[in-house]
Structure 1
Amino acid sequence: MKNEYLPYPLEWLDLLITVTLNPDRTDITSIDSEQLDYIIDRLPQENLRLQSLIKSQIFSSNKQKEIILLIKQYHSSLIVLLDQALQNKTTSSKTANLKNLYKVLLSNIDELLSFIETRFCDNLSPEERVPKTYLSVTRKELKKKVDKLKSNVNDDVKQNPAFKIILNRLYHFVNTTCLQYQVTFRDVFYKKTLLRGLEDLDWKKDQTEAYSPLDELLIYLNYNSKAYMNLLTDRLARCINSYDNTIEKMDRLLYYYKAFNQLHRKPNMILNPKYHGLETILGNWFVQEILYLEKKLRLSVVPLHSKMEKQKSNPATPKEKQKVLCMLSTDQIGLILRAADESRILVAKSMSQVFKTIVPHLSTSHKKDLSYDGMRSKSYVAEERDKQIAIETLERIIKKIREY
């Protein structure tokens, strides 16, 4: 593609904004109604022409670098023209015809930008900071769509806790002029994609047994809001715990996990790139819940079996001292005891004394009698998996304490 032989594709739009409608270069009052009507009629045609031209230029090139450069040039040039158009609007006369012209003009520029961002977003720089003027226009357009979405859904949807979380976050973005973070194109692209998804959602569609259409959309778009992920895991936990039998709970949990893994995901999509993805958080939650129920199932069988064997083999043996059953492995228990000693939560003459005093009173689901000396030795050569499980266990304890 030899760009040097191509005419400037935005020439008509550029001249209209920088010259014809620029109060510093043209007497706007000299433009009569007939000319204004012509411009208003021409703008949608120009919009379609440019969209077609962009697609033709993209498909006629087989060089990725050229395509990226072309898209960036169109996008940045349109943002500059948008900025100039808004500046012209603030300094121009407020006649009805001119107001209507600017309404159509800004709408068509925004449509062109949306076309580029939707069709060719992979060729833009998502982490680039959004210009203030463009952000201001985007907020206004998004607010209109959010208001329309809110008015179109029924009362049941409005009371949906997940919908409330989304709505509050969108309104915060469009109404807050001084956000606590730098707005990037990634933020804008994500919110536009989310709104399109919400607009296309069939709110009357019946919810499946596992996830609602709204859940499927948010999982598809990697909506990793802490509030939403907590809401979803709490709802799943309530559904699972409604069953009395542990086997039924496990069956339901595995079903939800399978259904979750089978849902579609949009590549390179995330609400908050500075936090763990929704799939990571939810996947970890499922794994921990499955491990917990597996251990619970083993416990419901092992103690009873052990007791019967003991009674058969030696009925006259005195009753042994009771032990506390710990759901961690010996290596994981050793890590926690070592950390408690070294952080002076448990205070004794030595670390050996800590292990010698506590370990004889503990057992695990795999081993009844534990070696305090062996556990202490292994605590110095712990594997990464044991460290991770010990950390996650302590985090569950912290979470439970906060709920008290």
Structure 2
Amino acid sequence: MGQEYALEWLDQMVNELDPQRTKPENLDNDQSIAIVDKAAKEEKRLIRLFKHFVFQEQKNRQIRKSVNHYLSASLNLMRIASDNLNRLPTQADNFRLALQSVFSCLSEVSAFIVQRYKNLVDRDTPLNMVSIDSQKHDLRNLENRDIMKNNPGLSELVIRSFSDIFVDHRAGEITMRKLDYWASVSHAVTHSIDLLEMPEAFDHLEMVLIERNFNSPLFVKYLTSKFSDILKHSCNSSQDTQKLALLQKIFNQIPVMKDIIFDNHFDDLSLTINAWFIEEIDFQSKSCSAEMTRVDVQPSKTGKNYERKTSDKIMCNLTVDQLSLFLKAADLSNIISARSLSAVFQSVAPHLSTPHREDISHSSLRVKSYTVEERDKSLLIETMTRLMEQIKDL
């Protein structure tokens, strides 16, 4: 598109049709009809232009940048136009008709960009104002499927999570990430088949959601409650530990689809559930050890358990503050990548120790990352300078 700003006329109209700048009653019938006709022509022109847009750019990165630039500009103009419409007095029919035609043009153009360049649109761009058909992915229409009827409690949870986003609009903005997510879930439910090697611990709907990283806190609570119920009637801590370890193994053997997540504001489902397993197994193991201590009066060998627990840890000659700062900087500079910085801390913490801290918790790393001391910055920069010199000598 060169230097042309394709939305120039629409931008001009949104600014001119501002009831705080232009008196609504001053727009006569002929002026209103002229704007309506122009908006209809502009809609056809822009859609025709965006149909061939991909052929006018040289590189995918440029195409992606331009697509998101025009989508963002269009959505911003729609928000302004919507606010202007809400501020109009009741006796402003000509003004309202003209502004609605401009808003409609922007809406259709935005919807076309989203549909045409779906794979290029920023996955977290708010799309609430875009006309998007979510009916074909509506989980409410699939509640009579066998996969849903076989687990009515979880089915209700899933339908409610879908409705909170697309029906009741209580769960934040609609984004391409959420659209793609529910399209995948809907497709899996619609085309579900009986799995010959279904693990006994999980039913088909649970498998679909685990595979698709359904990291909703409600699903986390559902799974942990399910696992706890399995142990509820047991009085043997040793057997409980084995059951939990087996459940964890089965859970981790379920393949998780790449680059899909229910909500990227939360940690991955696997991280959260595995953290629960670790804590619960540790609790059960300690309970089992306490029972054995009461029976076995032989003196225990001090230090052995801890040595086994930490024997494979890596000693890092940084403080926890400096380690947190290093990981945060590595994440921000994309040297390492995960769903979130918290996910990085959870993955790394169990495998590291420092000269002063044999056990490092991911929560302490996370807390330290919020407040950075200048002294830690300086010491870490000195360490990185030595590392740089070492790399040069290799």
Provide the TM-score with structure 2 as the length reference: 0.52
Q: Where in structure 2 are there 5+ consecutive unaligned residues?
A: 234-238, 314-349, 352-357, 360-394
Instruction: Give the conservation status (yes or no) of the 8 Å contact 2:14–2:80.
Output: yes
Match of 1:375, SS? Answer: coil
**1:190/1:214 CA distance change after superposition, 3 Å:** farther
Instruction: Give the conservation status (yes or no) of the 8 Å contact 1:78–1:113.
Output: no
Aligned counterparts of 1:175 and 1:195: Cα–Cα separation in 2: 13
- Share of identical aligned residues, percent? 14
**Equivalent residue runs for 1:326-341 within 5 Å:** 327-328=288-289
Q: CA deviation at 1:170?
A: 4.5
Deviations 1:292-348 (A, max 9, x none): 99x9xxxxxxxxxxxxxxxxxxxxxxxxxxxxx9645xxxx7xxxxxxxxxxxxxxx
Larger Rg: 1
Instruction: Give the conservation status (yes or no) of the 8 Å contact 1:250–1:290.
Output: yes
Instruction: Give the conservation status (yes or no) of the 8 Å contact 1:240–1:252.
Output: no
**1:67/1:50 CA distance change after superposition, 3 Å:** closer
Q: CA deviation at 1:72?
A: 4.8
- What residue is the counterpart of 2:346 in the other structure? none
Instruction: Give the conservation status (yes or no) of the 8 Å contact 2:211–2:257.
Output: yes
Q: CA deviation at 1:82?
A: 1.1
Q: CA deviation at 1:148?
A: 8.1
Aligned counterparts of 2:34 and 2:204: Cα–Cα separation in 1: 50
Which residue identity does 1:205 align to in structure 2?
S
- What residue is the counterpart of 2:27 in the other structure? 27
- What residue is the counterpart of 1:346 in the other structure? none
- The runs of at least 4 consecutive aligned structure 1 residues that moved more than 6 Å come to 32-35, 94-100, 174-179, 236-242, 248-252, 286-293, 376-382, 384-388
**1:381/1:207 CA distance change after superposition, 3 Å:** closer
**1:74/1:231 CA distance change after superposition, 3 Å:** same
**Which of 225, 246, 249 matches 2:216?**
225
- What residue is the counterpart of 2:11 in the other structure? 14
Which residue identity does 1:193 align to in structure 2?
D
Aligned counterparts of 2:141 and 2:169: Cα–Cα separation in 1: 26
Q: CA deviation at 1:228?
A: 0.7
Which residue identity does 1:369 align to in structure 2?
Q
Instruction: Give the conservation status (yes or no) of the 8 Å contact 1:222–1:270.
Output: yes
Deviations 1:164-195 (A, max 9, x none): 2233345445688898xxx6x7x744433334
Instruction: Give the conservation status (yes or no) of the 8 Å contact 1:89–1:102.
Output: no
Instruction: Give the conservation status (yes or no) of the 8 Å contact 1:9–1:50.
Output: no
**Which of 265, 273, 276 matches 1:282?**
273
**Which of 56, 63, 66 matches 1:70?**
66
**Which of 337, 361, 369 matches 2:298?**
369
Indicate whether 1:263 and 2:256 are aligned.
yes
Aligned counterparts of 1:254 and 1:33: Cα–Cα separation in 2: 66
Q: CA deviation at 1:281?
A: 2.7
Aligned counterparts of 2:273 and 2:281: Cα–Cα separation in 1: 12
Provide the TM-score with structure 1 as the length reference: 0.51
Which residue identity does 1:114 align to in structure 2?
V
- What residue is the counterpart of 1:196 in the other structure? 183
Match of 1:6, SS? Answer: coil
**Equivalent residue runs for 1:130-145 within 5 Å:** 137=129, 145=134
Aligned counterparts of 1:96 and 1:377: Cα–Cα separation in 2: 79
- What residue is the counterpart of 1:153 in the other structure? 142
- What residue is the counterpart of 2:160 in the other structure? 168
Identify which range, 36-45 or 82-91, moves more after superposition. Answer: 36-45
Instruction: Give the conservation status (yes or no) of the 8 Å contact 2:14–2:81.
Output: yes
Match of 1:119, SS? Answer: coil
- What residue is the counterpart of 2:327 in the other structure? none
**1:202/1:38 CA distance change after superposition, 3 Å:** farther
**1:200/1:93 CA distance change after superposition, 3 Å:** farther
**1:28/1:68 CA distance change after superposition, 3 Å:** farther
Aligned counterparts of 1:375 and 1:227: Cα–Cα separation in 2: 42
**1:232/1:49 CA distance change after superposition, 3 Å:** farther
**1:359/1:216 CA distance change after superposition, 3 Å:** closer
- What residue is the counterpart of 2:59 in the other structure? 61
Deviations 1:337-387 (A, max 9, x none): xxxxxxxxxxxxxxxxxxxxx996354xxxx8333xx42797799737799
Instruction: Give the conservation status (yes or no) of the 8 Å contact 1:221–1:270.
Output: yes
Q: What is the aligned-residue RMSD (CA, Å)?
A: 5.7
Aligned counterparts of 1:234 and 1:170: Cα–Cα separation in 2: 22
Which residue identity does 2:73 align to in structure 1?
S
**1:195/1:251 CA distance change after superposition, 3 Å:** closer
Aligned counterparts of 1:263 and 1:120: Cα–Cα separation in 2: 24
